[in-house]
Amino acid sequence: MTEKLFMADAYLQEAEGTVVAHTEQGGIVLDQSVFYPTGGGQMGDIGRFGVVEIATTVKGEDGAIVLVLAEGHALPEIGSTHLQVLNWDSRYRMMRLHTALHLLSVVIPLPVTGGQIRAEKARLDFAMPDPLADKQGVEDQLNALIAADHAVSEDWISEAELDAKPELVKTLSVQPPRGAGRIRLVRIGGDEQVDLQPCGGTHVRHTAEIGRVRLGKMEKKGRINRRLSVFLEE
């Protein structure tokens, strides 16, 4: 199992790592990783491992995190140790957008049927039979929550505790990972809680870090699903 350094500190941009395995697909597994693997709608991190370019990061077997090398790069030897360096611009944009999606789920309190976070944009799909009556109003509410600079923190609960509070899970398409005995919760807000839901992704520490966002065109996806994209305003 790879130690998930990003879980302890999402702002950690570099750390040494030792190659403990190669995969049949041509990836490498490290003993510890600052790279977040694709999961929960968030795309895998990119960056460098020594002189090797990392094209993406994915989940492997038995808790392994697999760094996928860019085409043309040779596999570092098993046992070799090098410096992992995140593409911080890409990661930080995803942290900001991921946190913004949590707030969007507050402004639009409907079941979430899907989602994705990339560095360029993020989106949520909602079980929404009718289109928004006031999209600009939703955008204004979202930016107001962001500007309020709410703290973002984490808690942990047992799987049994989550089973007793199913309302914490907003996503219909993705369920929190089980098997470890406990579930990570991401909380936005302090005494005045804004949001609390299970999530294993990376987030900013304060909502003001997100900056202003804008909403894209609402797209109809199926009979009752509608998709809303979020873009960072530079």
pLDDT tens track of the chain, all 234 residues?
899 999 999 999 999 999 999 998 889 999 999 999 999 899 999 999 999 999 999 999 999 999 999 999 999 999 999 999 999 999 999 999 999 999 999 999 999 999 999 999 999 999 998 899 999 999 999 999 999 999 999 999 888 888 888 878 877 666 666 556 788 899 999 888 999 999 999 999 999 999 999 999 999 998 889 999 999 997
Write down the H helix ranges in 45-200: 88-107, 135-147, 159-164
The C-alpha atoms of residue 187 and residue 185 are separated, in whole angstroms, by 6
Q: Tell me what pLDDT residue 165 has.
A: 84
The C-alpha atoms of residue 223 and residue 57 are separated, in whole angstroms, by 34
Closest CA to 6 of 84, 73, 61, 78: 84
Q: Which residues contact 149 (CB under 8 A, 6 or more apart)?
A: 206, 207, 208
Q: What angle do CA 182, 12, 6 make, to 5 degrees?
A: 25
Q: Tell me what pLDDT residue 164 has.
A: 84
- Ordered by where they begin, the domains of the chain are 3-86 (2.40.30.130), 91-232 (3.30.980.10)
